[in-house]
Amino acid sequence: MRVNIRIGGMSCAGCALRIEEALRQIGGVKEANVNFATAKATIEYDPEEIGLKDIENVIKEAGYQVLNDKIQVKVGGMTCAMCAKTIESALGQLEGIIDATVNLGAETAYIEYNKDLISIDDIRKVIEGLGYQFLGTMGEVVDEKILGDLKSKKKRIIVGLGVSIPLMIIMYSRIEFPFMNYIFFLVSILPFLYVSYPIFNAAIRSLKAKTLNMDVMYSMGIGVAFTSSVLSTFNILSQDFMFYETALMLAAFLTLGRYLEARAKGKTSEAIKKLMELQPDTATILKDDKEMEVPVETLKRGDILLVKTGDRIPVDGIIIEGQAHIDESMVTGEPIPVFKDKGKSVVAGTINTDGVMKIRTTHTGEETFLARIIRLVEEAQGSKPPLQRIADRAVSYFIPTVLIIAFTAFIFWYLKGMGLLFSLTILISTLVVACPCALGLATPTAVTVGIGRGAELGILIKKGETLEVSERISTVLFDKTGTLTEGEPYITDVVPLKGDENDVIGLAASIEANSRHPIARAIVSRAEDIPSIKVHELKSIPGKGLIGFTNSQRILVGNISLFKDNRIPLDHIKDMISKLQGEGKTIVLVGMDQEPVGIIAVSDKIKENSPRAMKALGEMGLETVMVTGDNPITAKIVAEKLGIGRVLSQVLPEDKVNIVAKMREKGGVAFVGDGINDAPALAAADVGIAIGSGTDIAMEAADIVLVKDDPVDVPAAMQLARKVVSRVKWNIFWAFAYNMVLIPVAAGLFYPIFRLTFRPELAGLAMALSSVTVVSLSLLLRSYIPPVKKGN
């Protein structure tokens, strides 16, 4: 078999050669050719010896990315956790499907696939072949189908209860009239078939797929009840076996449970729906000074748009004219509008509350910040935390176990001499009251709602697994600059050792002009009106500084370590350096050849909420550690202001990963950062948290992205994660407790002592309420506010 795989992360032709070599060394691969220019690997392999997943794992282990296509499919007709498991299993067996996860709560299948091997139409055929509905991929109109299904359920409930309640009144009133049994049969048969058809249809579908789901058990329960009634009507069984009202009411209650469950599940993804609604359909574009209203999808980078008061901003862009207060609450969770003027960036979905602006488009469509948020949240809701996998395994054994209990109880009570009627009632009640649906919904509904709530608060949790891992965190490491501080240093002191202040600043700026470091920007900004010196052969020393050459001299700009490495004496200015460091300032030394010519002192303002964030984390029992390349004295002063007890100073960028790895040996570690050099540490930590204002690379490497540039969202994210995991555990507890209590009651375990049994229709109602209870508990997360944010 031949397959094409798109690969990300290749930086040179050598990468392609390394991937080829790695692939050719594994058994089953006959040929492998990697084209660096097209970033594509063409692989010929024997599917009997090796699978596509194994090939992709080799590429990933080599340090590269496999760029598969991903889709989300809305699936109709799922009635319990076994349905989700059946679809997952069937999709997972297809060649070309890399990963398939079905979220019962969201009624969505999250599928990663290789489009060279399988198409969406093939996926559709598999889902429909199992008897479920392929309602469409995300972005397609599926609401009408879902609404139609709810209306159908509602009609069945009305018919079922409308007929069964009068029948029950007649039965319990002991009213008798001629041909009553035949009239009951004629009155109930069509309503019974109408109400119970979806249940029997799902059961047949399940048996065809060689699986057992709850519809099989429900069909057995209501089927036995109605069949015994028919046999009683025609005098094959005694009159005591008339269950017409029970069979019909049971089917109605089962349908009621699914109706309420579907209504509740529909609310679990409301956060996503709200985000999608933020994207306006049209925009006002300016062409030749004329205003034109155009569809948003026609916009492209560089277009000039006019945004008036009250308008929702249609794309990401930069303000080129005008100013306004922007309501960003729907993206950041921050209720107070933010003032923005020329040069500031704006994001799609936010609202211009006052003023008129012209913006230049920077990102459109799937590239906008809003689209990326939606994509992250959708992918996170499709992931499975370990707790869900435990529940999935339990569900696999649940139905066979209940069938054994039900038939064992039936046989036991019949042999015990309780009679066929009592034993039959026990059988029906046990089959109906059991419900693994609550167990199957316990995790996905809480995760879906919790991650959606996080998005509303400006906390993007990228994987469900992150929630569970967050609970095990004991230490939180913080990068300093741009994370705990504003990241925009300003020069406080210039001490010339040779020449004047302008000479020192001009020399430093000539070197730093080629750097993007925040301190470099501060120096270059200060030297705006000072003539620069032409520099060549610039050399960067990571974590220490820069060395450049003029025609006749070597210029050094950096920290003390840079000067010590180059054996430049600093003893005569030691006291001056210590004094500035004692004031909490960062020292930048400027040197020429083998002597220092000046000292530049720089300070970076601590973010307003940084101390509050550290206090909140401490109250949660978490150790906070600051990791910085700054000198020990300055780092210690900043840490004391923040309330951080432990400081790791003079840390080179490449050392952050080693620090994270070492600390992980003692417990769970979270790393918080914002820069490109933080990306490896973010990826290495148990939980990587990227400040939203940081780089795209940092955001890609992180597990949690904070949309706002606010440190207080770090403890808020941890509190949210803990709350969601706690709710999952409670849901699982209630799901297990419900079954552990009610199944024994239905099976007659307490009958000898308390004369306690379950009527089948009440068992059906209890079953309906179990799933609704679990989903409702999850929905309470929609209003959750992390304690640390309640003071905002």
At residue 219 the predicted structure's pLDDT band, cuts being 50, 70 and 90, is confident
The DSSP string of 25-59 is TSTTEEEEEEETTTTEEEEEE-TTT--HHHHHHHH
Q: Strand, coil or helix: what is 590?
A: strand
- Average pLDDT of the chain? 83
Residues 159 and 260 in one domain: yes
Please tell me which of 377-391, 506-520, 555-569 the model is most confident about, judged by mean pLDDT. 555-569
Whether the per-residue pLDDT at 675 is higher than 70: the answer is no
**Residue 557 pLDDT > 70:** yes
CATH number of domain containing 50: 3.30.70.100
Q: Is the pLDDT of residue 267 over 80?
A: no
DSSP-assigned letters across all residues of 195-219: HHHHHHHHHHHHHHTT---HHHHHH
**Domain annotation covers residue 377:** no
How many domains would you assign to the chain? 6
Within-domain flag for 226: yes
Query: How far from the centroid of its chain's Cα atoms is residue 209's Cα?
Result: 31
Other CB atoms within 10 A of residue 306 CB: 18
pLDDT at 6 over 90: no
Rounded distance between C-alpha atoms, residue 284 and residue 294, angstroms: 6
Taking the chain, what is the end-to-end CA distance rounded to the nearest angstrom?
Answer: 59
Average pLDDT of 478-505? 87
Q: In the listed set 141, 174, 198, which residue is the last one of a domain according to the structure? A: 141
- pLDDT tens digits, one per residue of 605-616: 888 899 999 999
Amino acid 682: pLDDT: 84
- The residue among 693 and 196 whose pLDDT is bigger is 196
Q: Would you report the helix, strand and coil content of the chain in percent, each value rounded to 5?
A: 50, 20, 30
pLDDT score, position 382: 66
- pLDDT of residue 141 exceeding 50: no
Residue ending a domain, among 96, 115, 141, is 141
Instruction: Output the pLDDT for position 761.
Output: 78
Residue 760: predicted pLDDT: 82
The mean pLDDT of 715-729, rounded to a whole number, is 93
**Cα gap 25→215, rounded to integer Å:** 49
pLDDT band at 207 (very low <50, low <70, confident <90, very high): confident
Higher pLDDT: 589 or 77? It is 589
Closest C-alpha to 732, from 400, 438, 435? 438
From residue 511, alpha-carbon distances to 109, 493, 523, 591, 667 in Å are: 54, 19, 10, 11, 42
Structure tokens at 597: 């010519």
Residue 479 annotated to the active site: yes
The CB density around residue 262, as the number of other CB atoms within 10 Å, is 16
Nearest alpha-carbon partner for 713 in 506, 484, 539: 484
Highest mean pLDDT among 116-130, 495-509, 624-638 belongs to 495-509
Can you name the residues that pair with 72 across neighbouring β-strands? 110
Read off the pLDDT of each residue in 692-715 and give the average, rounded to a whole number.
77
Find the Cα–Cα–Cα–Cα dihedral 316, 318, 321, 327, rounded to 10°: 50
Share of the chain above pLDDT 70, in %: 92
DSSP codes, 204-262? HHHHHTT---HHHHHHHHHHHHHHHHHHHHTTSS-GGG--HHHHHHHHHHHHHHHHHHH
Is the pLDDT confidence value at 187 over 90? yes
Sheet holding 545-549, edge to edge: 490-496, 595-603, 586-592, 554-558, 545-549, 536-541
- How confident is the model at residue 38, as a pLDDT? 63
Regarding whether 471 and 612 lie in a shared domain, the answer is: yes
Cα separation, 181 vs 51, in Å, equals 62
Token code pair at residue 612: 């509050």
From the candidates 316, 479, 604, 709, give the one annotated as an active-site residue: 479
Residues 495 and 586 both lie in one domain: yes
399-451 residue pLDDT tens? 888 889 999 999 999 999 898 889 988 998 888 888 766 777 778 888 888 88
Residues 257 and 316 in one domain: no
Residue 488 reports pLDDT greater than 90: no
Residue 27 falls within a domain, yes or no?
A: yes
Kindly state the average pLDDT of the residues 233-243. 80
Q: What is the mean pLDDT of residues 533-542?
A: 83
Residue 579 three-state SS: helix
Predicted pLDDT of residue 331: 67
- Give the CA-trace dihedral at 434, 437, 438, 442, to 10 degrees: 150
> Is the pLDDT confidence value at 24 over 90?
no
Residues 410 and 546 in one domain: no
Position 632 scores a pLDDT of 84
647 and 680 in a common domain? yes
Is residue 791 in a domain? Answer: no
**In terms of domains, do 81 and 107 share one?**
yes
User: 509 with 543, same domain?
Assistant: yes
pLDDT the model gives residue 683? 81
Q: Which structural domain range is residue 633 located in?
A: 460-485+607-707
Same domain, 51 and 122: no
- Provide the pLDDT confidence category of residue 563 given band limits of 50, 70 and 90: very high
pLDDT at 764: 74
Whether 253 and 196 have beta carbons less than 8 Å apart is answered as no
Average pLDDT score over residue span 704-711 = 87
Task: Provide the sign of the torsion angle of the four alpha carbons 328, 105, 372, 464, taken in this order.
Answer: positive
Q: Which of 461, 478, 439, 375 is nearest to 723 (CA)?
A: 461
533: CATH: 3.40.1110.10
Q: pLDDT band at 556, cuts 50/70/90?
A: very high
Last residue of a domain, one of 603, 618, 648: 603
CATH number at residue 698: 3.40.50.1000
% of the chain residues with pLDDT over 90: 19
The listed range with the strongest mean pLDDT (160-164, 366-370, 488-492, 698-702) is 160-164
Backbone phi, then psi, for 654, in 5-degree steps? -70, -15
Residue 71 lies in a domain: no
Q: Is residue 537 part of a domain?
A: yes
Q: Are 304 and 315 in contact (CB under 8 A)?
A: no
- Same domain? For 539 and 570 the reply is yes
Residue 151 resides in a domain: yes
The reply to whether 276 falls in a domain is no
Q: Is the same domain home to 295 and 336?
A: yes
Question: Is 574 found in the same domain as 432?
Answer: no
* Contact present, 102 and 87 (Cβ < 8 Å): yes
Indicate the SS3 state at residue 604.
coil
